[in-house]
Amino acid sequence: MQEHFHFTTDRAKIQKQYAAIFFFVSAQLSLIQTHLQRRNRHLVKQEDDVIIAIHILGKLLGFSSERAWHRFVTGNLFTNGQFLERSRYNRRCRALRWAMKWIRHELAKRVQHHAYAVVDSLPLELCHAARMHRVKRFQGIADIGYCASKKQWYYGLKLHLQVTDQGLPMGYVVTEASCHDRIAAESVMTQIPHPYN
């Protein structure tokens, strides 16, 4: 699907979306620039706001493959070869994850047109079922829980995620596998309260 998107997209529309996201990210990033504590900032090839805007645009367009998204960016937005190579872009995204999380929260607080938000959970299995009663890793953090959709027991953690109807993640909590969804949902919804959960 992503390859098909690469050949059928309107380049002007994508550049307009990127410009809107870049404008918002630049305004927000200036507020937290002193907290980033980045070394050698004067040597970077691409500014932080460009990296964050490109990353957010990729998530909004639904790209799940880092390779396909980098290929799309270099073919449609930065055709002159002035964008980072893929491995360096991925490292910069990981280094800026705190800033991305803060900007995502600010974006969620400003956007008021979401009709509803959904809180759901999914299992994070840490080992095969055959080993779950003798595993020693993550003791005290992970435990045994039941996944109703798969109808099986598993050892691990559980991710509780709040997402709007537009697909924007608003908050998350990682708990032990045995935690009830209702208990975790209350703490997820307090991160960014939404009127219609």
Rg (CA), the chain: 20
**Which SS3 state, helix, strand or coil, does residue 105 take?**
helix
pTM exceeds 0.75: no
Domain boundaries, the chain: 11-111, 117-190
Instruction: Let me know how many helices (H) and strands (E) the chain has, helices first.
Output: 7, 4
Sequential pLDDT tens for the chain (197 residues): 444 454 456 778 888 888 888 888 888 777 766 555 666 555 567 788 888 888 888 887 878 888 888 888 888 888 777 888 888 888 888 888 888 877 777 776 665 555 677 888 899 998 888 888 888 888 888 999 998 888 999 999 999 988 877 677 777 889 999 988 888 888 887 766 555 44
Cα separation values, 178 from 19, 85, 126, 153, Å = 44, 42, 14, 10
**Which SS3 state, helix, strand or coil, does residue 154 take?**
strand
